[in-house]
Amino acid sequence: MRLVLMGPPGAGKGTQAQFLASYLSVPKISTGDIFRMHVTRGTELGHEARRYMDAGDLVPDEVTIAMVKERLDEDDTRDGFLFDGFPRNVAQAEIFGDMLAAMHTPLSVVLELVVDDDEVVRRLSGRRTCSECAHVWHMLFDPPSVEGICDHCSGKLFQRDDDREETIRHRLEVYADQTAPLVGYYATSGLLEGIDATGPVEDVTARAVASLRHWGQ
């Protein structure tokens, strides 16, 4: 099974990717993991990616794709893979598709976790991080016993800048800009399957697994 999982920030991609990769017995791959691996190993691609990352710029598509190609050449991808949040735009999707076609390993399905913006804001803006132990609490779903104080270490809780509503809504606008064409691209190719990502985590997983069974897995 060769799968791409996509969805906006706060849709639960990381959590669902872990469950689904385990269910399918395939490696979970994200470009973030690949970038960190190359940077840690000090590879030529890692040095190139680091230059952009340190400057706060996006790593160019050609560098990202080269890293993805190397990752797909590893033995553990022979029986399938799950890409978490890649590709991010149509240009990457086209190159990725050509690469897989040349390897005779076309995509099986693209799962899109569907959740509305207000729900994403509710999920992310409720997070509070401990200034001492870095544990993350949620004011609605997992609140501390005493507001503003970590149960584990009594450290003070704070809201990260990227968990503020205005930041979240900006990230959602950027995501919609970049991925709306990508959703259309995969829908046209007949590979896209939308999954309702609202409700408890286990319910979302059950919907995703049911969808994969529909696709033959």
Helix (H, G, I), strand (E, B) or coil at 40: helix
Active site (catalytic) residues: 13, 88, 127, 160, 171
Please state the three-class secondary structure of 164-213 as a single string.
CHHHHHHHHHHHHHHHHHHHHHHHHCCCEEEEECCCCHHHHHHHHHHHHH
d(CA 215, CA 175) in angstroms, rounded, equals: 27
Q: Is the peptide bond before 87 cis (omega within 30 degrees of 0)?
A: yes
Work out the number of other CB atoms within 10 angstroms of the CB of residue 171: 16
Strand pairing category for 136-138 and 127-130: antiparallel
d(CA 176, CA 178) in angstroms, rounded, equals: 6
d(CA 201, CA 22) in angstroms, rounded, equals: 15
Q: Which two three-digit tokens encode residue 62?
A: 């050609």
